[in-house]
């Protein structure tokens, strides 16, 4: 419930400018924020407000045009100069787990094979045990030998989440995770994220259009035109 | 690495038809390649065998003498030059020589032959030495003459058939008004012996008034002998020329190699086409999986990991195609041989298409190389995909 | 030295050419009996013709052993030796004037005393001999046998005439136009007999393959009359 005081993400004066012909569009226009370890933060705002661009930058999927980003005490970006792709890959692998609107499961691999997929690219001791644990946690171990085409949408998203969690990330980035799901399943996913935050101590960054889902976070940050419009206080009263 | 193999293999199963067609394309190219290499090998070894079956490895003839029936007939039966009989003894003394046999070729103009007459050639051979040199010659009827002065003849199968001669019949030597008795008819050999009329050497010398004269000496060289050195020695004999049959083989092979170059070019084109097919297939599948590749990157796959994954997919396609092609080639080897015999003007007897394990291994090696090369571009493209490309396209 | 090199080269070429040229006749299969130069020979043998069609037949294709037995029965002799076999190909030339068929030319191989004989017959549409021609004849008496006067003796004869000629004894066994064919040289008796046997065989084959066994009835009825 309480977030501990260690800052896991610290962003200073982040700017991201897109060029369209001769026009320059600032998708992120000077945003500074910090996120504590164990926090559940949701980002809301209308389309084009820059929320996806922002969490892409926070999640090391994109480089800002300028600004500074520090992750778990390590400077990742300074003045638009990021670390090498290889180093970024390592950071993504060790720190982040990503959940997207589209599930991106490989249709010819079974559920358990999909979840194990990250370990195809690097060895980790105890990986098998972790996979089993996560399947259990996501309540999909009874479907482990099914193909994605044989399970429901809600189950598919659980598989995707399981895959994101299997390498024990510190931070989970969820970009519209319930966009393709109905109300009931969306709520299930929301509860699941809460549980992961509370029981596993995961830091969760959520982008969503769904107000009910947004409210499940500790705090909600509202974006508009690439800037933070208003931080919305929730349970802990922290900005 | 095993897991990447499984992922790659399962990725190919996502578009079964496309993967299948690509494999067939490679299979066809591999089939052509294996058949071709098999033909190359088979032809050469059959040719070797045919040449070996000539009996002697070297012929010594008088300088300027056409010692072959065909040449003789081409030259209108003229131009014969002779060597003295003593040359045989001289050659026999050489340490490299295993056996020698004297020969005398003569021709007559036969007005009854063909339309307005033609030349008939007769080869005088020594019954004591010639049959041993050509011990693989088999008889359909009868046997070799034994008496060196007999007025007898042994006919090659085609020569007998042309004249409808059988053992016991008479054969008229035109212009000399001499009739010899047919004592043997050889089975078909597929060589020029089929068209040859053999008589005892001394009989030919007598009939044609060429006492103690020879047109050729056939030499069988000992296995351990130094051929080039022995050839040099023979060149030094006065007024003779030496024909080494290994050089004849070279000439034939040169003639055939022109045809081979053409067919290899076709195989190369087939391979190039299949390479393009592979690149296209893999590239298409990479384009379709852009987002997915982006997600893989977000999972911690490096550019090299993605490159390897796509590369392995390419290799699987190529190796599958290669194995299918090799199997096809083995299965159709006989048919290929029939086709080749129709096309080539001269084909040696025996198996023309020889496909063995080393050949298949070589072709698979080539196919794997093709796979590695053609996979490079699509794999590199896949490796360059950024995770963001996947997410951005999601937003759009 | 250069001369030797050149000669060597020439000889390689000739030796190599030898592989290609020999055998000059067919490489595989039994030897048949074609005209040496069909375009020229058909025009010469059949004056007035404008064209011809060539057909290849063999006894094993057309009827197998039963057909061979029938032919041998008509011939009055069996097919003998290495080269008179069931699979020998025969070349039949159908001769045309414009679109109209005007006759046939057919040749057979026959064994002569000193070599092979090729007997060609030029026939009209009824199977009557219009002309006789030795395309090949190896004989001491070739000159006399090839003489026009010899061939003229065959003109006008049909298979009916040859039925009463016994090829084994060389004698007529009934009334036969063959009796009028005389041997110009007594020493050439074997080749003379071969020419007659070849002619009879030729006519039988033409009857079987082209004329639809027009003359078979005569042979069968002969069998009843001469048991």
Between strands B58-62 and A7-20, the pairing is: unpaired
- Structural domain boundaries enclosing A83: 7-232
Contact B97/B222 with Cβ under 8 angstroms? yes
Instruction: Compare all CA atoms of chain B with the CA of C88 and give the residue at the minimum distance.
Output: B161
Contacts of B19 in chain A (CB under 8 A): none
CA dist., res. A35 & res. A232, Å (int): 14
Give the predicted TM-score (pTM) of the model: 0.57
Any idea what the Cα angle at residue B132 is, between residues B131 and B135, rounded to 5°?
A: 80
CA dist., res. C27 & res. B194, Å (int): 10
Residue B290 has pLDDT above 60, yes or no: yes
Position C186 confidence tier, pLDDT thresholds 50, 70, 90: very high
Q: Is residue C18 part of a domain?
A: no
Position C173 confidence tier, pLDDT thresholds 50, 70, 90: confident
Q: Which residues pair with B153 in a beta bridge?
A: B182
Residue C18 has pLDDT above 50, yes or no: no
Q: What pLDDT is attached to residue C214? A: 84
Question: Which residue in A168, A157, A173, A159 sits closest to A42, CA to CA?
Answer: A173
Contacts of B299 in chain A (CB under 8 A): 93, 98, 117-118, 121, 163, 167
- Structural domain boundaries enclosing C185: 34-225
Any idea what the Cα angle at residue C47 is, between residues C46 and C48, rounded to 5°?
A: 110
Q: Is residue C12 part of a domain?
A: no
Q: What pLDDT is attached to residue C14? A: 47
**ipTM for the assembly:** 0.82
Q: Which pair of tokens denotes residue B268?
A: 């190369």
**Mean pLDDT across A70-99:** 84
On the 0-12 / 13-18 / 19+ scale of CB atoms within 10 A, C85 is middle
What domain count does chain A have?
Answer: 1
Cβ–Cβ below 8 Å for B163 and C116: yes
CA dist., res. B292 & res. B391, Å (int): 10
CA dist., res. A117 & res. A18, Å (int): 33
Q: What pLDDT is attached to residue C17? A: 41
Residue A232 main-chain phi, psi, to 5 deg = -105, 125
User: Which residues 62-101 in chain C show a CB within 8 A of chain B?
Assistant: 81-84
CA dist., res. C66 & res. A165, Å (int): 88
Residue B189 main-chain phi, psi, to 5 deg = -120, -15
Q: What pLDDT is attached to residue B222? A: 82
Q: What pLDDT is attached to residue C33? A: 87
Q: What pLDDT is attached to residue B349? A: 63
Residue A44 main-chain phi, psi, to 5 deg = -125, 165
What domain count does chain C have?
Answer: 1
Instruction: Compare all CA atoms of chain B with the CA of A174 and give the residue at the minimum distance.
Output: B391
Residue B2 has pLDDT above 60, yes or no: no
Contact B80/B66 with Cβ under 8 angstroms? yes
B75 in contact with chain A, both atoms CB, cutoff 8 A: no
Query: Taking the CA of residue B128 as centre, how many other CA atoms within 13 Å lie in the half-sphere pointing to its CB?
Result: 8
**Mean pLDDT across C142-161:** 90
On the 0-12 / 13-18 / 19+ scale of CB atoms within 10 A, B319 is middle
Question: Which residue in A126, A143, A133, A171 sits closest to A11, CA to CA?
Answer: A171
Q: Which pair of tokens denotes residue A214?
A: 């947004």
Q: What is the pLDDT of residues C76-133, one digit of tens each?
A: 999 988 888 888 899 999 999 999 999 999 999 999 998 889 999 999 999 999 999 9
CA dist., res. B189 & res. B193, Å (int): 7
Q: Is residue C19 part of a domain?
A: no
Q: Which pair of tokens denotes residue C127?
A: 């199977």
CA dist., res. A116 & res. A120, Å (int): 7
Q: What is the dihedral of CA B346, B250, B255, B107, to 10 degrees?
A: -60
Cβ–Cβ below 8 Å for B298 and A101: no
**Mean pLDDT across A221-234:** 78
C156 SS3 class? coil
Q: What pLDDT is attached to residue B252? A: 75
Q: What pLDDT is attached to residue C143? A: 85
DSSP letter at B353?
-
**Mean pLDDT across C138-151:** 87
**Mean pLDDT across B88-104:** 91
Residue C146 has pLDDT above 80, yes or no: yes
On the 0-12 / 13-18 / 19+ scale of CB atoms within 10 A, C149 is exposed
Contacts of B387 in chain A (CB under 8 A): 61, 92, 98
CA dist., res. C14 & res. B394, Å (int): 77
Question: Which residue in A181, A163, A85, A74 sits closest to A118, CA to CA?
Answer: A163
Angle between helices B290-298 and B387-395 (to 10 degrees): 120
Question: Can you give the residue ranges of every domain in chain B?
Answer: 2-51+252-395, 64-238
Query: What is the enclosing helix (H) or strand (E) of B197?
Result: strand B197-200
Q: What pLDDT is attached to residue A142? A: 92
The set of chains that have 3 or more CB pairs under 8 A with A is: B
Position B254 confidence tier, pLDDT thresholds 50, 70, 90: confident
CA distances, A219 to each of A3, A99, A174, B264, B395 (Å): 11, 19, 15, 72, 24
How far is the alpha carbon of C60 from chain B, nearest alpha carbon, in Å?
19
Of A61, A116, A117, the CB nearest to B387: A61
Contact A213/A175 with Cβ under 8 angstroms? no
Residue B195 main-chain phi, psi, to 5 deg = -105, 10
On the 0-12 / 13-18 / 19+ scale of CB atoms within 10 A, B391 is buried
Instruction: Compare all CA atoms of chain C with the CA of B117 and give the residue at the minimum distance.
Output: C136
Cβ–Cβ below 8 Å for A106 and B387: no
User: Which single residue is written with the structure tokens 């693989």?
Assistant: B136
Q: How many CB pairs under 8 A join A and B?
A: 79
Maximum alpha-carbon separation in chain C: 81
DSSP E strands in chain C: the ranges are: 51-58, 89-97, 100-111, 116-123, 129-137, 165-166, 171-172
Query: What is the enclosing helix (H) or strand (E) of C157?
Result: none
Q: What pLDDT is attached to residue C199? A: 94
Position B346 confidence tier, pLDDT thresholds 50, 70, 90: low
Q: What pLDDT is attached to residue C139? A: 82
Which of A153-157, B63-67, B151-155 shows the lowest mean pLDDT across its residues? B63-67
Contacts of C11 in chain B (CB under 8 A): 61, 66-68, 71, 241, 243
Position B67 confidence tier, pLDDT thresholds 50, 70, 90: low
Q: Is residue A237 part of a domain?
A: no
Q: What is the CATH number of the domain that holds A57?
A: 3.40.50.300
Q: Is residue A73 part of a domain?
A: yes
Q: Which residues pair with A228 in a beta bridge?
A: A223
* Helix, strand, coil percent content, chain A, rounded in steps of 5: 35, 30, 35
Q: What pLDDT is attached to residue A231? A: 67
Q: Which pair of tokens denotes residue C62?
A: 């057309």
CA dist., res. A165 & res. A133, Å (int): 10
The set of chains that have 3 or more CB pairs under 8 A with C is: B
Contacts of B303 in chain A (CB under 8 A): 85-86, 89
């Amino acid at each position: 419930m309480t977030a501990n005081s260690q800052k896991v993400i610290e962003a200073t004066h982040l700017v991201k400018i897109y060029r369209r012909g001769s026009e320059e569009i600032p998708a992120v226009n000077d945003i500074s924020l910090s996120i504590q370890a164990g926090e559940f933060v949701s980002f809301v705002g209308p389309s084009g407000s820059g929320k996806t661009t922002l969490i892409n930058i926070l999640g090391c999927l994109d480089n800002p045009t300028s600004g500074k980003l520090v992750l778990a005490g390590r400077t990742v970006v300074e003045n638009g100069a990021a670390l090498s792709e290889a180093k970024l890959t390592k950071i993504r692998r060790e720190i982040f787990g990503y959940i997207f609107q589209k599930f991106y499961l490989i249709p010819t691999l079974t559920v358990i094979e999909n979840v194990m997929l990250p370990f195809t690219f690097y060895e980790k001791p105890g990986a098998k045990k972790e996979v089993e644990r996560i399947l259990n946690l996501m309540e999909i171990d009874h479907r482990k030998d099914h193909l994605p085409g044989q399970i429901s949408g809600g189950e598919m998203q659980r598989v995707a989440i399981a895959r994101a969690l299997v390498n024990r990330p510190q931070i989970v980035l969820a970009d519209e995770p319930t966009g393709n799901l109905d109300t009931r399943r969306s709520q299930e996913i929301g509860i699941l994220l809460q549980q992961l935050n509370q029981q596993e101590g995961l830091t969760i960054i959520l982008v969503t259009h769904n107000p009910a889902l947004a409210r499940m976070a500790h705090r909600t940050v509202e974006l508009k035109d690439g800037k933070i419009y208003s931080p919305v206080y929730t349970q802990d009263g922290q900005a | 690495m095993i897991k990447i193999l499984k992922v790659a293999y399962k990725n190919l199963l996502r578009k079964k038809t496309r993967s299948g067609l690509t494999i067939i394309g490679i299979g066809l190219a591999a089939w052509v390649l294996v058949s071709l290499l098999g033909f190359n090998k088979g032809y050469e070894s059959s040719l070797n065998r045919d040449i070996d079956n000539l009996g002697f490895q070297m012929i010594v003839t008088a300088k300027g003498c056409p010692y072959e029936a065909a040449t003789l007939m081409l030259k209108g039966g003229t131009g014969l030059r002779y060597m003295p009989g003593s040359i045989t003894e001289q050659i026999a003394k050489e340490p490299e020589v295993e056996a020698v046999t004297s020969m005398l070729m003569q021709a007559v103009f036969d007005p009854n032959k063909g339309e307005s007459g033609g030349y008939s050639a007769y080869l005088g051979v020594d019954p004591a030495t010639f049959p041993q040199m050509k011990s693989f010659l088999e008889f359909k009827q009868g046997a070799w003459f034994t008496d060196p002065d007999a007025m007898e003849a042994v006919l090659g199968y085609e020569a007998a058939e042309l004249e409808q001669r059988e053992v016991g019949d008479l054969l008229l030597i035109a212009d000399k008004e001499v009739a010899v008795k047919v004592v043997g008819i050889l089975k078909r050999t597929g060589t020029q012996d089929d068209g040859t009329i053999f008589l005892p050497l001394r009989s030919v010398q007598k009939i044609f008034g060429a006492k103690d004269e020879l047109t050729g000496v056939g030499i069988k060289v000992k296995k351990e002998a130094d051929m080039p050195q022995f050839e040099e020695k023979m060149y030094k004999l006065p007024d003779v020329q030496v024909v080494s049959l290994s050089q004849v083989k070279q000439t034939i092979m040169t003639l055939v190699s022109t045809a081979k170059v053409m067919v290899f070019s076709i195989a190369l084109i087939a391979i190039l086409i299949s390479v393009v097919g592979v690149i296209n297939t893999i590239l298409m599948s990479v384009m379709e999986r852009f987002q997915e590749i982006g997600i893989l990157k977000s999972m911690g796959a490096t550019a090299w990991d993605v490159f390897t994954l796509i590369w392995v997919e390419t290799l699987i396609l190529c190796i599958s195609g290669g194995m299918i092609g090799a199997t096809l080639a083995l299965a159709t080897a006989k048919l290929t041989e029939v086709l080749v015999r129709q096309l080539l003007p001269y084909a040696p007897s025996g198996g023309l298409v020889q496909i063995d394990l080393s050949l298949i291994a070589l072709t698979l090696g080539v196919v794997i190389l093709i796979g590695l090369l053609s996979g490079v571009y699509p794999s590199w493209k896949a490796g360059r995909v950024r995770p963001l490309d996947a997410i951005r396209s999601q937003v759009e | 030295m250069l001369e030797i090199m050149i000669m060597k080269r020439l000889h390689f070429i000739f030796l190599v050419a030898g592989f290609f040229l020999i055998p000059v006749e067919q490489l595989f299969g039994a030897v048949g009996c074609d005209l040496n130069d069909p375009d020229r020979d058909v025009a010469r043998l059949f004056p007035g013709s404008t064209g011809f069609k060539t057909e290849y037949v063999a006894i094993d294709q057309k009827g197998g052993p039963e057909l061979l037995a029938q032919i041998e029965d008509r011939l009055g002799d069996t097919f003998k030796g290495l080269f008179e076999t069931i699979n020998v190909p025969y070349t039949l030339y159908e001769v045309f004037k414009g679109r109209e068929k005007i006759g046939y030319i057919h040749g057979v191989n026959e064994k002569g005393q000193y070599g092979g004989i090729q007997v060609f017959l030029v026939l009209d549409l009824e199977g009557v001999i219009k002309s006789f021609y030795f395309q090949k004849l190896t004989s001491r008496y070739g000159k006399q046998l090839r003489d026009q006067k010899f061939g003229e003796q065959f003109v006008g004869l049909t298979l009916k005439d040859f039925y009463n000629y016994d090829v084994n004894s060389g004698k007529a066994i009934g009334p036969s136009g063959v009796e009028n064919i005389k041997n110009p040289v007594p020493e050439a008796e074997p080749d003379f007999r071969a020419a007659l046997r070849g002619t009879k065989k030729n006519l039988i084959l033409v009857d079987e393959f082209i004329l639809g066994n027009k003359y078979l009835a005569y042979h069968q009825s002969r069998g009843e009359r001469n048991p």
